[in-house]
Amino acid sequence: MVMTTEEFKRDILRLQPRLQRTAESIIGDADSAADAVQEAVITLWEQRATIKSQDMEKLSLTIVKRRSIDLLRKQKPTIPIDTESLMLAEPPQDDNEERYRLARKLVEQLPRRQRDAILMKYEDGLSVEEIEKATGMSSTHVYATLSRAYKSLREAIRQYKEKQG
Amino acid sequence: MNTENEMNEEVRQLLDSLEEHGKNARRQKELGDLIDRLADEEKEVAMPRKHRTLTPLWWVMGAAAACLLLWLLVKPNAKQQPEMEQEILVEETKAVDSVKTEVNDGVFEQPVANETFLAEETPLVPQNAPMKKEKPKTQIIEKVVEQPMLVEVKPTEPKDTTNIGSNTIPTENETPSVVQKPQRRVIRSLNLVCYECQKDPEFFTKPVMEDRTLFGQPQDPNMKNGSLALEIKLN
């Protein structure tokens, strides 16, 4: 039975962080890794008629690794590529999730303007000019708010560590 | 100072994790959009393909069916046509009509091939039939018309011209196709007879031109009221 679009999308989005980490561990560049993942998704889409849902993870990892190695070869590296070891290597564990949860928890305790400024700059990836337009603040005010937010976060981390003992 | 640096490093890592999470979220969104776009493209490509493959097939099938129907309609007629024509020809030879001409001495009945009548009764010949096949029909009619007749024509002064007119020249109420063409045949046959008579001067007299017309042309005394009175005698 052919996977529906929704099923395919759900599986891919679930696997995306792992695929991204795998590609990044091979290529070493987040943006190139994202390109490799996209190419792998297109290949998977074309072959989805023959793919079973339970094989999706294994197959997608294999394709992402191959695409990543292909991209690495295109970059013409001076160091020889050990394709076999790269293909057999386990994808790196996701240790970012725990840290992200803590960061999110500490950021939520900040005052509203500082919290908005930090989330816009780091989570949404907006520039200072874009934050100016979004919040209506001047650039000096944005920089000052961000600076105060860093201080508040340091204080929050210290208090968190003290609590943890 | 070390504690300050450690704290700064802790903050940087937390912010990096925030940044990384945000990037991943955006990549996931891009991937979702990519999958949606692939699905849309597949739909757009799949639909016209169906039309492209089905439409010509239907056209070909329709054209083939139309050709088959035409062939089925034409083929039996083509086979039957010679037989039908034979039947018509047989009828033609039998169907000889007569035109009555009332003259001084009595009624003269002249056999004439009912050419027009047959022509109207032969719509059985399909329209697709070639025109060449009508030729034998006309030949047969000529044969029927050219039956030997001996008729003496003497132009005399008519006693009652209306009598002849009513009998020989059909009114509009009568079917013109049935009556008028045989009338033409009669005159034609008379001409033939007159031509024969010219060979033997005993049976032929020229009309005397006594009077002149209003335009100064010599007038045939037998022409009165716009009609030609002829005395026809059987030899």
Kindly determine whether residue B30 and residue A100, on different chains, have CB atoms separated by under 8 Å. no
Chain B closest-CA separation from residue A34 CA (Å): 7
Chain A closest-CA separation from residue B52 CA (Å): 22
- Answer whether A158 touches B (CB < 8 Å): yes
- Answer whether A150 touches B (CB < 8 Å): yes
For residue B166, what pLDDT is reported?
Answer: 46
The yes or no reply on domain A96-164 and CATH 1.10.10.10 is yes
Chain B closest-CA separation from residue A16 CA (Å): 7
Kindly determine whether residue B17 and residue A100, on different chains, have CB atoms separated by under 8 Å. yes
* Mean per-residue pLDDT, A24-40: 89
- Answer whether A43 touches B (CB < 8 Å): no
Is pLDDT at B95 greater than 50 in this prediction? no
Task: Give the DSSP per-residue string, chain B.
Answer: -HHHHHHHHHHHHHHHHHHHHHHHHHHHHHHHHHHHHHHHHHHHHHHHHHHHHHHHHHHHHHHHHHHHHHHHHHHHHHHHHHHHHHHHHHHHHH-EEEEEEE-SSSEEEEEEE-HHHHHHT-TTS-TTS-GGGGHHHHHHHHHHHT----EEEE----S-HHHHHHHHSPPTTS-HHHHHHHHHHHHHHHHHHHHHHHHSGGG--PPP--SB-TTS-B--TTEETTEE--EEEE-
Q: What is the ipTM of this complex?
A: 0.82
- Answer whether B11 touches A (CB < 8 Å): yes
For residue B24, what pLDDT is reported?
Answer: 85
3-state secondary structure (DSSP) of residue A67: helix
**B10 contacts in A (CB within 8 Å)?**
154, 157
- Answer whether A110 touches B (CB < 8 Å): no
- Answer whether B12 touches A (CB < 8 Å): no
Per-residue pLDDT reduced to its tens digit, A82-105: 777 777 777 666 667 788 888 889
Q: Which residues, 6+ apart, have CB-to-CB distance to B119 below 8 Å?
A: none
Kindly determine whether residue A20 and residue B27, on different chains, have CB atoms separated by under 8 Å. yes
Kindly determine whether residue B11 and residue A154, on different chains, have CB atoms separated by under 8 Å. yes
pTM over 0.80: no
Is pLDDT at A133 greater than 50 in this prediction? yes
Q: B99 has which bridge partners?
A: B110
The least confident of A93-97, A99-103, B18-22, B148-152 is B148-152
Per-residue pLDDT reduced to its tens digit, B181-208: 444 444 544 555 555 555 555 555 555 5
Q: Which residue has the tokens 């759900």?
A: A10
